[in-house]
């Protein structure tokens, strides 16, 4: 197996070719619609992925948030490349021993799926030939690029795809590895190491979607397949392993087809709507009633292979269905699964007769929908069946939540590139490089050692803080006098699962997050909140969008002090007299559980434990000696 990564990290520097902020917005102040068409690249040819998308002739709707500018709408030429973003890119190049280019030439990369208002994405090569040294191995990093992020897909009131322009133009730093990675676990380790270096710059955005991985995978005899936009680091290994399994199964199908002597399918696609109208297939009949039709495509020699591998999703039938979905249809029905889905045996026989499909050795595919989409889908399905004779086609696939993938489009190539004529070339001066080298950030391994040495953290906590990019916030809060252990727990254990449930971070920037957490921890320092109550307060703030005072009030934790603790302890000891008289100091744990159930978050657990231990000890000491043979009260 060979694996390569393309890591894309959003930078917190403002947008790449205008001065709008690199923040997302849920407010919309206007919009417009546009169609996009494929054009030739610098080599004078059309890119296959762009051709496929343009053939759908979509009308794209764009939502304009405040603030926004005409650059994002492609109604004004781009401004000069953001110098702060360039410094971050050059910083990573220096940290990874890459060689900066002498002059940056911005290129246009043809993209007509609606995610860019212009029909292309601007990208610029910044450095080449870097190296990552990890676990005794050296990984090549051929390219470091700066590019624009795409607009984000959103729900909209009208038909057709909707995009919001808040994400469009946010700088992405792309670092590509060579194909030396050998497993899914290794791919995750490389991604973690590169991510830690990026976060060490303290100029990257936080939260889900701010970093994405394109994972390239091939197995012996297979082809390079790109899994586009993996957002969860923990799933990288699963995507790699599943893609390896998929390619191996497709190679097994290829060998069977070759053993049968199967030729590329040549038979015509034919309408079979009239044959389906008498069936009981509710899904197909629904398409027919809405004005669509049903067409069939014969696949001689493919019988029994479309459903091969039915113990898992990786099967040729699903590959063909994905091609139909890419054309806007719901999928396919194929002969390996018929009769079924309301289609009876006599209908299958009639369809076979019309398509000229004889015996169980041959197969056929049915698609349903409007005629233009169905014709495109059948053409794509025929092409995919031809590719099955060769093995594994090169393609781009979308990640699915369970760690598997779905066909998206052909693998883009160099045919989509051409120079950006609105941005002049930018020399990389020796003075700029010297400034970058004088201001390199603390390396992750140095930060981990410092956190263990000066912060008193164990190796695991130090590793988590560095990996998650929380060192700056930890240092800020520790400098303000908050206990290092408590700060580390909040940053590594309490906050991340809450932000994951919410889907967005509590704060975009490190400075803002440090300010919020400082206000919460100040309540602990001033005795108004027990440290056990911090997770509850944060949950109210993160999931309920509450202020600190609102969160404290809703959690019933404000204002608190240790007022009334003595009376609570005495009342508990009165109520549970039999327990502590019988068990002595062994009753401490159950008594502590009763107390914390009522004061957790209001009073620090150590304070509660000391008060209970002192008062329980005094009560036990006042008891008369036990009769001989009953044993001690304090085992």
User: Does 206 have pLDDT greater than 70?
Assistant: yes
In three-state secondary structure terms, 2 is strand
Which residues lie closer than 8 Å to 479 by C-beta, 6 or more apart? none
Q: Nearest 5°: CA angle at 322, between 317 and 328?
A: 135
Q: Which of 523, 554, 585 is the last residue of a domain?
A: 554
Report if residue 634 sits inside a domain.
Answer: no
> 560: pLDDT confidence band, cut at 50, 70 and 90?
very low
For residue 180, the Cα-to-chain-centroid distance in whole angstroms is 23
Mean of the pLDDT values across residues 601-606?
Answer: 66
SS3 content of the chain, % helix, strand, coil (to 5): 40, 20, 40
pLDDT at 559: 47
Mean of the pLDDT values across residues 105-125?
Answer: 93
Least Cα distance to 338 among 276, 274, 425 occurs for 276
Q: Are residues 342 and 269 in the same domain?
A: yes
User: Does 26 have pLDDT greater than 50?
Assistant: yes
Q: What's the rounded Cα separation, in Å, for the pair 396 and 379?
A: 18
Q: Which of 130-134, 338-342, 515-519 has the highest mean pLDDT?
A: 130-134
Q: Are residues 528 and 582 in the same domain?
A: no
pLDDT at 557: 64
Q: Are residues 120 and 173 in the same domain?
A: yes
User: Does 540 have pLDDT greater than 90?
Assistant: no
Distance, first Cα to last Cα, the chain: 61
Q: Which of 38-42, 555-559, 584-588 has the highest mean pLDDT?
A: 584-588
What's 204's DSSP letter? Answer: B
Mean of the pLDDT values across residues 190-214?
Answer: 91
Q: Which two tokens stand for residue 103?
A: 């002059």
> 633: pLDDT confidence band, cut at 50, 70 and 90?
low
Q: Which of 343, 369, 388 is the last residue of a domain?
A: 388
Q: Are residues 487 and 339 in the same domain?
A: no
Q: Furthest-apart CA pair in the chain: how many Å? A: 103
pLDDT at 631: 54
User: Does 415 have pLDDT greater than 80?
Assistant: no
The Cβ of residue 345 has, within 10 Å, a number of other Cβ atoms equal to: 10
Q: Are residues 271 and 123 in the same domain?
A: no
Mean of the pLDDT values across residues 431-449?
Answer: 96
Q: Are residues 92 and 206 in the same domain?
A: yes
> What average pLDDT does the chain have?
89
Contact of 385 with 302, CB cutoff 8 Å: yes
Mean of the pLDDT values across residues 345-351?
Answer: 95
Contact of 152 with 164, CB cutoff 8 Å: yes
Handedness of CA 157, 158, 160, 165 (dihedral sign): negative
pLDDT at 629: 53
Rg for the chain (alpha carbons), in Å?
32
> 50: pLDDT confidence band, cut at 50, 70 and 90?
confident
User: Half-sphere exposure of residue 212, counting CA atoms within 13 Å on the CB side?
Assistant: 15
Q: Which two tokens stand for residue 509?
A: 């920037």
Least Cα distance to 551 among 539, 540, 562, 565 occurs for 540
Q: Are residues 232 and 282 in the same domain?
A: no
Contact of 194 with 7, CB cutoff 8 Å: yes
Q: Which of 55-69, 73-87, 547-561, 595-609 has the highest mean pLDDT?
A: 73-87
By percentage, how much of the chain surpasses pLDDT 90?
A: 64
Q: Which two tokens stand for residue 360?
A: 């169980």
Task: Tally the domains of the chain.
Answer: 4
Report if residue 120 sits inside a domain.
Answer: yes
Residue pLDDT, tens place only, 512-537? 888 999 999 998 888 778 788 888 88
Mean of the pLDDT values across residues 440-458?
Answer: 93
Contact of 239 with 184, CB cutoff 8 Å: yes
Which strand (E) or helix (H) includes residue 363? Answer: strand 363-369
pLDDT at 312: 52
> 41: pLDDT confidence band, cut at 50, 70 and 90?
confident
Buried b (16+ CB within 10 A) or exposed e, 230-259: beeeebbbbbbbbbbbbbbbbbebbebbee
Q: Are residues 382 and 285 in the same domain?
A: yes
Least Cα distance to 202 among 513, 526, 622 occurs for 513
Report if residue 467 sits inside a domain.
Answer: yes
Residue pLDDT, tens place only, 52-83? 778 878 899 999 999 889 999 999 999 999 99
> 635: pLDDT confidence band, cut at 50, 70 and 90?
very low
Q: What's the rounded Cα separation, in Å, for the pair 334 and 91?
A: 54
Q: Are residues 218 and 298 in the same domain?
A: no
Report if residue 522 sits inside a domain.
Answer: yes
Q: Which two tokens stand for residue 483?
A: 């206990």
Report if residue 405 sits inside a domain.
Answer: no
Report if residue 439 sits inside a domain.
Answer: no
Q: Are residues 586 and 496 in the same domain?
A: no
Q: Are residues 253 and 271 in the same domain?
A: no
Q: Are residues 84 and 192 in the same domain?
A: yes
Q: What's the rounded Cα separation, in Å, for the pair 103 and 529?
A: 56
Report if residue 384 sits inside a domain.
Answer: yes
Report if residue 157 sits inside a domain.
Answer: yes
Domain CATH number, residue 334: 3.30.1360.30
pLDDT at 246: 95
Q: What's the rounded Cα separation, in Å, for the pair 293 and 539?
A: 52
In this prediction the pTM is 0.81
Residue 210, domain extent: 2-257+415-419
């Amino acid at each position: 197996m060979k694996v390569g990564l393309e890591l894309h990290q959003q930078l917190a520097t403002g947008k790449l070719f205008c001065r709008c902020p690199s923040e997302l917005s849920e407010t919309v102040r206007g919009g417009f619609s546009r169609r996009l068409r494929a054009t030739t690249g610098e080599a004078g040819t059309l890119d296959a992925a762009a051709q496929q998308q343009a053939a759908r002739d979509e009308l794209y709707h764009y939502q304009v948030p405040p603030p926004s500018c005409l650059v994002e709408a492609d109604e004004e030429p781009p401004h000069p490349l953001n110098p702060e973003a360039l410094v971050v890119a050059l910083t990573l190049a220096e940290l990874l021993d890459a060689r900066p280019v002498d002059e940056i030439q911005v290129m246009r990369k043809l993209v007509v799926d609606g995610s860019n208002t212009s029909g292309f994405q601007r990208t610029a090569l910044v450095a080449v030939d870097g190296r990552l040294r990890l676990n005794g191995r050296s990984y090549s990093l051929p390219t470091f690029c700066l590019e624009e992020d795409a607009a984000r897909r959103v729900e909209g009131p009208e038909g057709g795809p909707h995009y919001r322009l808040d994400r469009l133009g946010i700088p992405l730093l792309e670092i590509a590895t060579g194909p030396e990675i050998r497993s899914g676990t290794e791919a995750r380790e490389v991604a973690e190491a590169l991510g830690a270096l990026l976060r060490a710059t303290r100029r990257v955005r936080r939260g889900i979607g701010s970093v994405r991985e394109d994972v390239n995978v091939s197995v012996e005899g297979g082809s390079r397949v790109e899994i586009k936009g993996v957002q969860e680091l923990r799933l990288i290994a699963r995507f790699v392993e599943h893609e390896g399994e998929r390619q191996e199964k497709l190679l097994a199908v290829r060998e069977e087809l070759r053993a049968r002597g199967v030729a590329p399918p040549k038979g015509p696609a034919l309408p079979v709507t009239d044959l389906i109208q008498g069936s009981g297939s509710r899904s197909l009949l629904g398409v027919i009633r809405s004005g669509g039709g049903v067409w069939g495509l014969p696949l001689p020699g493919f019988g029994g292979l479309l459903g091969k591998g039915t113990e898992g999703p990786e099967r040729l039938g699903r590959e063909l269905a994905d091609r139909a979905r890419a054309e806007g249809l719901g999928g396919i029905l194929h002969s390996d699964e018929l009769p079924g889905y309301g289609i009876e045996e006599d209908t299958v026989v009639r369809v076979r007769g019309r398509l000229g499909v004889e015996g169980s050795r041959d197969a056929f595919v049915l698609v349903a929908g409007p005629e233009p989409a169905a014709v495109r889908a059948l053409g794509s399905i025929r092409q995919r069946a031809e590719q099955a004779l060769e093995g594994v086609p090169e393609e781009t696939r979308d990640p699915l939540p369970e760690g598997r993938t779905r066909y998206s489009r052909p693998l883009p190539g160099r045919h989509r590139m051409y120079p950006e004529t609105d941005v002049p070339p930018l020399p990389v001066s020796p003075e700029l490089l010297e400034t970058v080298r004088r201001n390199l950030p603390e390396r992750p391994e140095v930060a981990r050692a410092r956190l263990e040495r000066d912060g008193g953290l164990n190796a695991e906590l130090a590793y988590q803080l560095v990996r998650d990019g929380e060192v700056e916030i930890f240092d800020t809060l520790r400098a303000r006098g908050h206990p290092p252990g408590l700060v580390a727990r909040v940053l590594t254990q309490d906050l991340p699962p809450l932000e994951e449930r919410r889907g967005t971070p509590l704060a975009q920037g490190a400075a803002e997050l440090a300010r919020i957490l400082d206000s919460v921890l100040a309540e602990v320092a001033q005795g108004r909140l027990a440290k056990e109550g911090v997770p509850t307060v944060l949950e109210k703030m993160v999931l309920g969008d509450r202020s600190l005072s609102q969160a404290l009030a809703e959690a019933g934790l404000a204002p608190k002090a240790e007022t009334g603790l003595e009376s609570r302890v005495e009342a508990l000891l009165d109520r549970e007299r039999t327990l502590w008289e019988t068990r002595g100091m062994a009753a401490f744990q159950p008594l502590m559980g009763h107390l914390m159930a009522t004061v957790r978050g209001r009073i620090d657990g150590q304070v509660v434990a000391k008060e209970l231990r002192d008062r329980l000890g005094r009560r036990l000491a006042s008891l008369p000696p036990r009769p001989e043979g009953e044993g001690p009260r304090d085992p």
